[in-house]
Structure 1
């Protein structure tokens, strides 16, 4: 009976840990909401000419951030490939941004990729 209780307790703890780990990840919806929020800000800013990005998109640079889109024009329907925040005044998910320490960044965005390895199309986080 004690063994069964211990097994049940371990399973409950494992389930709780997996649920909290899922909640710690930045959801695709939250990431898209952030990216399209910057797109709205970009659309209201002064128009800029795009530069071809080395990753295959078009980079539109603004004061404090860049938007990398699939097309060479920006519109509300543009497909966003990436955003890059360079300014301190841009509100970013979980309160980290340029100037944040690596420890703060990894605490805010926990991941299973402790060495931060990966490629452009598969890495979770770029520093």
Structure 2
């Protein structure tokens, strides 16, 4: 996967602006997704997850409809990674989910249904 650095730079330049105007985050993550050739991108708050707080690219709309309709926002699998994030400042899925669970757990089957790879999710604590 190649990254279009010009597009990525343009998208990242808008993050400061989006910090003050949250309505811009969708454009920012759409730009990042386009620049990296990703299937989509999203921002899910850790403290509260509801349809009005989650930001996602248009390509993720159906997946997030199922995310909320299926109750995944109530039992968000990746919250299991919070202790690693708090302790280390970053976390990847494999630190709290063994490979066999990646392949068998309903949460990851939900991802596969929507064409979302079950690769590592990288989180970083804000500095």
User: How would you bin the TM-score normalised by the shorter chain?
Assistant: under 0.3
- Name the structure where helix makes up a greater proportion of residues: 2
Bigger fraction of residues in strand? 1
TM-score scaled by length of structure 2: 0.25
TM-score (norm 1): 0.25
Q: Which structure has the greater CA radius of gyration? A: 1
